[in-house]
Each structure stands twice: as C-alpha cells, then as structure tokens.
C-alpha cells in the first residue's frame, strides 16, 4: 500500500523501485511514475539485480531529473516547498471531470 518509502528514497536521491502488483501509487492518475520510478512485478524479483544493472546511466540521469520535477508532490508542508495538496486537488479534479463525462455520456 501507500507509505513514505517513495518520498524517503526521493529525499536521498534514489530512484524508487516499486514491487507492488495491482497497487496504485499516490497521484498515479496525474503523475507519470514511468518517468522517475522503476516498476516491476513480483515475478520479476529473481531478475531485479539484472534489471537494475542494465539500466543505462543516461536513463538514470533522465529519471533523476524527472524525479526532481515531482519530488515536492510527496511533501505536505508548503513552507518547505511541498505541493502534495495541489496534486491532491489535481487528482480529485481529474476524477470529477471523468465522472461528469461518464454521467453525461450515459444520458
């Protein structure tokens, strides 16, 4: 489930490695995790080290740049640059927009 590990890894400059099948991550409807996190299935665990070692330095640099772009989304304290509230509103707005679209399409 959701925890602080994504934020903790990002705070230390580490790319998040997510090993949770069928689990949504915070704000995954508005934040493109594929840009800054490595997501694997549980069945990929035996090859985890191979996957991590085969990730090119160029890819890691690009993912770290993207990670900086979204890092503040996991911080709830605006006085330290946190934007979690803003991302929560964006996520709720997207859900509401989708509900409206579904509602009016059915009528």
Task: Give residue-wise pLDDT tens across range 68-82.
Answer: 999 999 999 999 899
Q: Nearest 5°: phi and psi at 97?
A: -60, -45
How many distinct structural domains can be found in the chain?
1
Beta bridge partners of 18: 39
Look up the domain containing 50 and give its range: 5-106
User: Given pLDDT bands bounded at 50, 70 and 90, which one contains residue 100?
Assistant: confident
Rounded to the nearest 5 percent, the helix, strand and coil shares of the chain are 65, 5, 35
What local confidence, expressed as pLDDT, does residue 102 receive?
A: 65
What local confidence, expressed as pLDDT, does residue 20 receive?
A: 87
What local confidence, expressed as pLDDT, does residue 68 receive?
A: 93
Provide DSSP, 23-66: -PPTTTTTS-GGGT-EE--GGGGGGHHHHHHHS-HHHHHHHHHH
pTM score, whole prediction: 0.79
């Amino acid at each position: 489930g959701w925890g602080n590990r994504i934020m903790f890894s990002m705070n230390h400059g580490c790319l998040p490695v997510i090993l949770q099948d069928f689990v949504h991550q915070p704000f995954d409807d508005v934040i493109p995790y594929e840009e800054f996190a490595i997501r694997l299935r549980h069945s990929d665990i035996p090859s985890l080290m191979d996957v991590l070692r085969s990730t090119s330095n160029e890819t890691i640099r690009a993912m770290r740049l993207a990670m900086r772009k979204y890092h503040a989304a996991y911080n709830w304290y605006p006085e330290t640059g946190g934007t979690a509230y803003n991302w929560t509103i964006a996520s709720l707005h997207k859900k509401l927009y989708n509900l409206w679209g579904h509602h009016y399409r059915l009528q």
